[in-house]
Amino acid sequence: SGTPNGGLSPASFVVVANRLPVDRDIDEDGNSDWRTSPGGLVTALEPVLKSRAGAWVGWVGAPDEDLEPFTHDGMEIIPVPLSGVEVRDYYEGFSNGTLWPLYHDVVAHPEFHREWWDSYLKVNRRFADRAAEIADDGAVVWIQDYQLQLVPQMLRERRPDLKIGFFLHIPFPPTELFQQLPWRREILEGLLGADLVGFQINGGAQNFTRLVRQLAHYPTQRGSIELPDGRRVLARAYPISIQTQEFYDNARLPETAKRAEEIRHELGDPKYLFLGVDRLDYTKGIYQRLRAFGELISDGLLDAEDAVFVQVANPSRERVEEYKRLRDDIERLVGRLNGELGQLGRPPINYMHSFYPRDEMAALYRAADVMVVTPLRDGMNLVAKEYIACRQADDGALVLSEFAGAARELRQAYMINPYDINQMKERMLEAATDAPRNKARRMRILRRQVFEHDIDRWATNFLDDLGSCTRSR
């Protein structure tokens, strides 16, 4: 064990994730080059990877590509190939058509197909094999998210010398829902291959340990699970965060301030600028929030002269049926509301189905008076934290769903239940029109929370705990 192939040196720290931390740039002459992907997880783990001779095992994001391992910016990149059929069955199918809706409270209907499961099994095995080949003796391996829940056990079988951590970025569902899964036992055992299983919130860790008791009858004591072979698994919450200081600094730049002003001006200098930023996903409650905003205007509680909603919805999982339907529904709603409530050149809803550059996002966050985050269920929701981080003073307002993981920490937000449209309307209106001193009191506490708990702290907490798990052998 521990001998890597391909002439790569063994890694003492390995990240295993569905996607690699690099994107390919192709220039005019067709030469390709690699760029570190933007995003908090990658940026947070990069220093750890560099200082510990780290490797990252993941898929490049395109089907049918078998790339050799390479070094990028001090990290070993270990690509895992997926065929077109596997992208359909493992990724779009089992990961996003079965697990995603099931783990998000079945807000959409999960589909169970045996071919999808077979593909999930096969692809998880491939990830585990790559990790087993690259990891040095006694290395630390950190597996990420719902696409790879079988990897911990598969890896442990081949490499019992490793310290294995797993982090779930999405909610872990109540046992009543999880039990629907025909492969519930396999997934449970897959996760129990880890020494430490991390969740976004305590509720997730509790759902998991309860499930372990009910389904596997293993004794648990608080977050500690005892397996028949005497091994112990720890289940705990590690709320993920963002690079708070970077967001703040980027938003503080004079260019960003100028752009924020421009945006407000282009929107007709509204008194209240509401903002939503999401992947176009049915868990995010985009439809519900736009309906609430539309009703505030049609009820005469907000004036279309004063209030504008900007909704950035970036394209996501576009080949999955449920996502096509959602897009149609939202676009029909936006068209109807703008048609009924808008005036020439002044649509009340500015809807963008596109991915925004990072700087433009910072300007939008800075420009917005009310950030509207209304998921029906969300593991954490980083957008809420990013908005807070971009505030330059104790101003602005966050409307937040109690069903986002972030609600556990961001208690001073204007909290809503996205299923209660009347309450959502009231709170959105309150957030817009509240006295500055009330907003400041809330925002001061929110900012302190997000500055004190950034993503570096998240990674350090997880890795420290994983480090102190006793080796099983």
Taking CA atoms, 367 is separated from 250, 257, 265, 275, in Å, by 14, 8, 10, 9
Region of 133-141, 374-382, 423-431, 457-465 interacting with ligand GDG (CB under 6 A): 374-382
- Catalytic site includes residue 299: no
Region of 107-115, 231-239, 264-272, 355-363 interacting with ligand GDG (CB under 6 A): 355-363
358 belongs to the binding site for ligand GDG (CB under 6 A) = yes
What is the total residue count of the chain? 473
CB of 396 to ligand GDG, least distance (A): 16
**Residue choice 10, 348, 379, 418 for contact with ligand GDG (CB under 6 A):** 379
Count the site residues for ligand GDG by CB under 6 A: 18
Q: How far apart (Å, rounded) are the C-alpha atoms in residues 387 and 430?
A: 18
Tokens of 402: 């109690």
Q: How far apart (Å, rounded) are the C-alpha atoms in residues 422 and 428?
A: 10
Residue list 311-340, contact with ligand GDG (CB under 6 A): 312, 314
- Catalytic site includes residue 169: yes
CB of 410 to ligand GDG, least distance (A): 12
380 belongs to the binding site for ligand GDG (CB under 6 A) = yes
Residue 195: which of 216, 215, 150, 225 has the closest Cα?
225
Q: How far apart (Å, rounded) are the C-alpha atoms in residues 391 and 330?
A: 29
289 belongs to the binding site for ligand GDG (CB under 6 A) = no
Region of 27-35, 68-76, 155-163, 376-384 interacting with ligand GDG (CB under 6 A): 376-384
**Residue choice 153, 381, 401, 412 for contact with ligand GDG (CB under 6 A):** 381
Residue 272: which of 432, 395, 430 has the closest Cα?
432
169 belongs to the binding site for ligand GDG (CB under 6 A) = yes
Strand ranges (E), 80-215 = 135-144, 163-167, 196-199
**Residue choice 355, 395, 452, 468 for contact with ligand GDG (CB under 6 A):** 355
361 belongs to the binding site for ligand GDG (CB under 6 A) = yes
> What sign does the dihedral 168-410-429-272 (CA atoms) show?
negative
CB of 383 to ligand GDG, least distance (A): 4
Tokens of 433: 């029109």
Angle value at C-alpha 416, between 169 and 343, nearest 5 degrees: 105
Region of 78-86, 109-117, 375-383, 393-401 interacting with ligand GDG (CB under 6 A): 375-383
Taking CA atoms, 19 is separated from 39, 78, 135, 312, 317, in Å, by 12, 11, 18, 23, 14
Cβ closest to ligand GDG, residue 241 vs residue 338? 241
CB within 8 Å of 327: residues ≥ 6 apart: 280, 318, 353
Angle value at C-alpha 464, between 194 and 202, nearest 5 degrees: 65
CB of 305 to ligand GDG, least distance (A): 28
Helices (H), 90-242: 100-103, 114-134, 151-158, 175-178, 184-191, 202-211
Cβ closest to ligand GDG, residue 195 vs residue 378? 378
CB of 216 to ligand GDG, least distance (A): 26
409 belongs to the binding site for ligand GDG (CB under 6 A) = no
Q: Are the beta carbons of 436 and 393 closer than 8 angstroms?
A: no
Give me the amino acid identity at 55.
Answer: A
CB neighbours (10 Å) of residue 253? 14
Instruction: Spot the catalytic one: 278, 378, 454, 456.
Output: 378
Q: How far apart (Å, rounded) are the C-alpha atoms in residues 445 and 107?
A: 32
Region of 53-61, 149-157, 209-217, 350-358 interacting with ligand GDG (CB under 6 A): 350-358
**Residue choice 102, 135, 263, 382 for contact with ligand GDG (CB under 6 A):** 382
Cβ closest to ligand GDG, residue 164 vs residue 383? 383
386 belongs to the binding site for ligand GDG (CB under 6 A) = yes
Residue list 233-262, contact with ligand GDG (CB under 6 A): 240
353 belongs to the binding site for ligand GDG (CB under 6 A) = no
CB of 199 to ligand GDG, least distance (A): 11
Cβ closest to ligand GDG, residue 136 vs residue 278? 278
What is the chain's Cα-based Rg?
Answer: 23
CB of 191 to ligand GDG, least distance (A): 17
Instruction: Spot the catalytic one: 104, 136, 145, 169.
Output: 169
Cβ closest to ligand GDG, residue 378 vs residue 456? 378
Q: How far apart (Å, rounded) are the C-alpha atoms in residues 457 and 468?
A: 16
CB of 44 to ligand GDG, least distance (A): 11
356 belongs to the binding site for ligand GDG (CB under 6 A) = yes
398 belongs to the binding site for ligand GDG (CB under 6 A) = no
* SS3 state at 123: helix
Cβ closest to ligand GDG, residue 209 vs residue 401? 401
Angle value at C-alpha 451, between 281 and 310, nearest 5 degrees: 35
* SS3 state at 93: helix
Q: How far apart (Å, rounded) are the C-alpha atoms in residues 472 and 314?
A: 44
Residue carrying the six token digits 């908090």: 40
Give the residue numbers annotated as catalytic, written as ranges.
169, 378
Contacting residues toward ligand GDG, per CB under 6 A = 169-170, 240, 277, 279, 312, 314, 355-356, 358, 361, 378-383, 386
